Chains A and B, each alone.
Chain A
Amino acid sequence: MEQSLFSAILFATLVAGTPLIIVALGELITEKAGVLNLGAEGTMAMGAVAGFAATHYSGNPYLGVLAGMAAGALMSLLFGLLTLTFMANQVASGLALAIFGVGLSAFIGKPYESLTLQAVPAWRIPLLADIPYIGSALFNQQSLVYFSWALLAGVIWFLYKSRAGLILRAVGESPASAHSIGYPVIRIRYLATLFGGAMAGIGGAFLSVFYTPLWVEGMVSGRGWIALALVVFATWRPLRVMVGAYLFGGVMITQLFVQGSGLNLEVPSQLLSALPYLATILVLVLISRNQQTIRLNSPQSLGQPYRPDA
């Protein structure tokens, strides 16, 4: 009994952390190029509604993921157009994207509100799934959980082992120097922004296609913002993004289990539901307290527009 409860909580924690990993890793790449896109909440919402609609019509959840990805990329293209081409303030444009995405998704999603999708079966990895205690939680999982692991490996390799990643980081640290040695700063920033948007779209689609299989207005419920906080929490290091995401997933799931367990706690359910948001504030405080860590790790040009004068 205890073992199965542990396994169930671990399983659910991984699932709850997965969209956060995907979105936060996408945002990490965007921010490493020096672009601060605060629109993740709206981008996720658009990914969620696009993913739901595509899955609803095609019956194929992976077409849903693709649709979510495309919707996310389109949203970030809009952001790129504003901030990279039109030189608009990144904070204001990100807020605009967040508000716009939440509104547009509510508008587009109206007809889908009462529908549900079929649950997507898990992918069982033979042998590994038979490991006692943790096997079925880790290796009998949603496909996108594995995708998030692969994404993490890919992002680490890209940032720290590949030449392209080095250039990306150079653009984020000092766009003027990168420009002066001939790298197309704006194009690289566009690509990084598009990647971030695409990942946020996938994260959104994961919520509406795999996690809850339904669409409700406002279903992203702050996960986009939490993902942004995760990037800060991780001090822009990919592996820490994953650790943070699972911590959050754990908080979300534990409070759900406590609420559903019928334990007669003298605590209002709303307080439990507030835990993930309070936890976000707490980790932001803990990590930001040391200003030097932030200064050393955040990309130098983060949030600052750059226009090559050539």
Chain B
Amino acid sequence: MLSFKLETRPEASQLMSYLSPLIAVLLTVLGGLLVFSALGKDPIEGFQVFFLNPVRDWYGVSELLLKATPLMLCAVGLAIGFRANVWNIGAEGQFIVGACAATGAALLLEDVSGPQVLLAMVVAGALGGAAWAAIPAFLRTHFNANEILVSLMLVYVAQLLVSWLVFGPWIDPEGFNFPQSKMFSDSALLPMLVEGTRLNLAFVIALGVLAIGYVFMQKSFLGFKMRVAGEAADAARYAGFSAKLMIWIGLLAGGVCAGLAGMGEVAGPMGQLTDKVGSGYGFAAIIVAFVGRLNPIGIFFASLLMALLFIGGEQAQQYMSLPSSISKVFQGMLLFFLLGSDLFINYRLRVRRTLTKAGA
């Protein structure tokens, strides 16, 4: 008789930690096919609509990169915190406040033209996100308040803030009372990278931030300290690394990046601020950060995958009359499968032939 036993590996498996996301993707695709069949849809068609159609031409690829941009920005910031066990899950709120701050700059500099407008918006977006993240950081370092719950509560507050702004002071006077700001002037819009697409400079900024994140996390002493703090809190304390500093950096990094992503949304595809500006990128970025193994290179690929799921959901709504929220189901499945297969990083399965009781 065969018996399975879980056995602790003497050392965490490097190979498994890279394989695990791939296994999770594979299982998610398989799960997706099952979901499609369960819904009475042709799984092959579902697979095509979800995973192939979005990238079948260059325009599709540009849309994929456009969607991936806020995801990779938010995720790289979160990863810096997650590595140090700083659980900022309010990127969605920081994204919204960054978008609001950037909009503020754009409206203020309406009559100015030139690159300084965009520069001001970038700074405002980053500061806005950072300010929103500074609240949980301050409350955690001074009052020990749990950053998970505080950063999350602030998502709801941010949503109400943007709703107040676009229904109230910033409402477009010619907007037929729709909850939206004025359209931005041309100098407040990010320049396009490729003619005829919506892919804009934000993508380049995101790549730059990924590179900075890589250097910070893998090559800098501070990044190393943060990793130690996350993996061995006692060792970090013994070495005298300041836990408060880690919390501040972890949260502010997340806030700056999410704020930049929010700026990229209003100055990019949206071209104005609306109450729908937070469309779940901040939450999806949590999944991106994990699937990307909290590593900027991994995050790049994970954000492409998540963007594919987002676009696939829209396509499924259009061509298969499925609610677009199906993409969230797939996103959740992806994270579950990842967390599950991560078991084999630290454990291995031992299959043994044992004697049955009758034979003994």
Contact = CB atoms under 8 A, between A and B. Distances in A.
A285 B343 contact: no
Given A95-B89, A294-B144, A277 B339 contact: no
Interface string B141-183: 0011110111011101100110110011000000000000000
A291 B340 contact: no
Contact of B153 (A86, A96, A225): A225
B325 interface: yes
B325 A278 contact: no
Given A104-B329, A221-B156, A99 B287 contact: yes
A281 B283 contact: no
A167 B148 CA distance: 29
Interface in B322-343: 323, 325-329, 331-333, 335-336, 339-340, 342-343
Given A89-B339, A96-B336, A280 B149 contact: yes
Contact of B156 (A87, A95, A274, A284): A274
Interface in A59-105: 78, 81-82, 86-89, 91-93, 95-96, 99-104
B92 to A, nearest CB: 11
A125 B115 CA distance: 71
Interface residues of B, number: 45
B287 A110 contact: no
A70 B53 CA distance: 37
Most-contacted residue by chain B among A82, A86, A96 (CB, 10 A): A96
A100 B335 contact: yes
B87 A86 contact: no
Contacts, number: 130
A86 B323 contact: no
A92 B290 contact: yes
A219 B285 CA distance: 22
Interface stretch (A130-138, A172-180, A256-264, A265-273): A265-273
A285 B332 CA distance: 31
A106 B326 CA distance: 8
Contacts of B18: none
A99 B283 contact: yes
A270 B162 CA distance: 9
Contacts of B287: 96, 99
A278 B161 CA distance: 13
B286 interface: yes
Contacts of A288: 143-146
A152 to B, nearest CB: 23
Nearest to B148: A38
Given A87-B346, A277-B156, A100 B148 contact: no
A81 B275 CA distance: 38
Contacts of B329: 100, 103-104, 107
Contacts of B148: 38, 91
B49 to A, nearest CB: 16
A289 interface: yes
A222 interface: yes
A274 B160 CA distance: 7
Contacts of A280: 149, 153
Interface string A137-172: 000000000000000000000000000000000000
Interface of B: 8, 87, 89, 135, 139, 143-146, 148-150, 152-154, 156-157, 160-161, 163-164, 167-168, 283-284, 286-287, 290, 323, 325-329, 331-333, 335-336, 339-340, 342-343, 346-347
28 contacts: A87-B347, A88-B340, A88-B343, A92-B290, A96-B332, A99-B286, A100-B332, A100-B333, A100-B335, A102-B328, A103-B332, A104-B332, A106-B328, A107-B323, A222-B152, A222-B153, A225-B152, A229-B146, A229-B149, A270-B160, A270-B164, A274-B160, A278-B153, A280-B149, A281-B150, A285-B145, A289-B144, A309-B8
